[in-house]
Structure 1
Amino acid sequence: MKPIRVAVLAFDGINLFHLSVPGQVFGVQPAPPGLSPYEVRYCAPTPGPVRTMQGLQIDVPDGLDAMRRADIVIVPAWDHPETPAPAELTQALRAAHARGAQVVGLCLGAFVLGDAGLLDGRRATTHWAVRDVFARRFPTADFRPDVLYIDDGDIVTSAGTVAAIDCCLNLVRVRHGADVANRIARLLVTPPHRQGGQAQYIEQPVPELPSENRLPGVLDWARERLAEPLSVDALADAAHMSRRTFTRRFREATGTTVVKWLASERLARAQQLLETTDLPIEQIATEAGFGTALSLRQHFAAQLGTPPSAYRRSFCGDSSGRLESRVAGRT
């Protein structure tokens, strides 16, 4: 089966963690049965030794011509938000994108995509700490500063550091489905999909109340009861908190509201059932907690841009195919 070729940019001073994330997510071996394996290659403007931010020297075998053969091109970071990317790099990115490759900017790598002119009129995000710089440098981008990542089809960007894992898992999810992405997430011992956006990470005090420790258990409790008509009051009672306190603690811990969190969890559950079972749409709507098939279809249209039946077909037969309608700005 033809591999999915991934080209990852390396450069002097790159953060080793950022560089390793695509290889960790896409490099899971062996590939799940029936799925195309990922072939990850590292490239640099000048092939050869590259010194990382941590002081380690690594050998990068390929030059930027590797981008011409890649299905996915990833810029995992950049050295400084005010430093323009060199012309040879931006030209290579534009050429890869024009050829049909999916171009991904993780963390400050989004600045390189902006320098290449690939973000004009496109949804994009980056690390919250440099959002003012990003908005100033790329005023024609549709900047979304509060999300963990944005999948805008052939252009994908993410927030900082660990959000790169969220973003790469989403790339797998879009191509191969939630079940495969969940398996990879379990191997990495990371959540398959984190709730909330960057707001929950922007220099706020660490919660000190013992009641905070009850939230993870309540979230697990709710996930086991998605088919039930859950409410804020029901979750607050399960956490032994007042509604007001629970609502505040929930937003602090997840970066989102209870209603949005439940909708996202139910959508993920419906995706899993569509991918892994032959249950009718009406039954999936009930088991995922949407109540009716109409409600399920409305959520799919709003969040995924595709009906449940089309989503199911995309994971039947050609499992290496990618959804034509992609998640954009989902947190």
Structure 2
Amino acid sequence: MKVSNEDLIKLYGEMWLIRLFEQRASDLFAKGVLPGFIHLGIGQEAFMVGTHYNIKAGDSVGTSHREHGLLLGLGITPNELMAELYGRVTGSNKGKGGSMHACSPKNGALGCNGILGPAQTIINGYGFAHKVRNDGNIAVTVFGDGASNRGDVHEGMNLASVMNLPVVFIIIDNGYGISMSSKDSSVIADLSARAASYGMPGLTADGNDVLAVIEATGEAFKRAREGGGPSVVEFKTYRHRGHFEGDPTPYRTKEELEMWMKKDPILNLEKVLLEREVINEEQMKEIQAEQLAVIDAAQKFAEESPFPEGPEGYEDVFYFYEGSDK
């Protein structure tokens, strides 16, 4: 797919927005400012913006616990997402979803199921709805290499194939399922090869190359929209941080981390921009500064927003205590 220079610049800005948003979230969490728990996708920005590039209004997209960037691309504003992390009423889910369960159904952002595996069966419901409505939209589910070994995932793939649903299964192979290397949890080099078991195409691409991501998702999404059925797309990438914030990562070596840092997706796109003379280094710094201002504003917005109070704190949530019939 040919990507215009204008779009390349936009992609670069989006990648920096995600990177800076998550770096800020990391700092705030370390200081004890953010409640709850967070999993960051720093280093995986190319797959997020590249996937969103081919998403259309009306599509249904289910994320995992590491896709703040995809949520931003789907329409949740930096202000709303930051406020959600802070647990404030101005958040995308009024401060009750937090990092893992932030969502925006009106924008097709289904959010995270919270349990590995079931989301890949649930997504078929959305795919079936799009098929029955014949609306030209698709359902996309994102999950990791660890989740790809779950039985639920394979049930979901099989059903999607049997029903010829417009569903795309995106596997983010960042090398680890929590602390287990994907090399120790699977004997095949490419997890997308499993697609053949369900009679659907499987494709593996460089998840640190945003143009490769755009091409891969473009092909799979087009096929699903045209009635060609489901497919599996795998992106090889790497998370710069641990599985969770505070994870000391004793399971990986310094050499491994240094190798992948050299493959940073933002650095990769910068090389393309400079080689094609789309923008220069000074313009890159200006874009970074613009996005940093957006993050500063989002933090200020969140900190000035109130917490849910009174009865509102019990709305939109399910609660149960022993002896209650509610």
If the length of structure 1 is used for normalisation, what is the TM-score? 0.30
* Structure with bigger RCO (C-alpha 8 Å, 6+ apart): 2
Larger Rg: 1
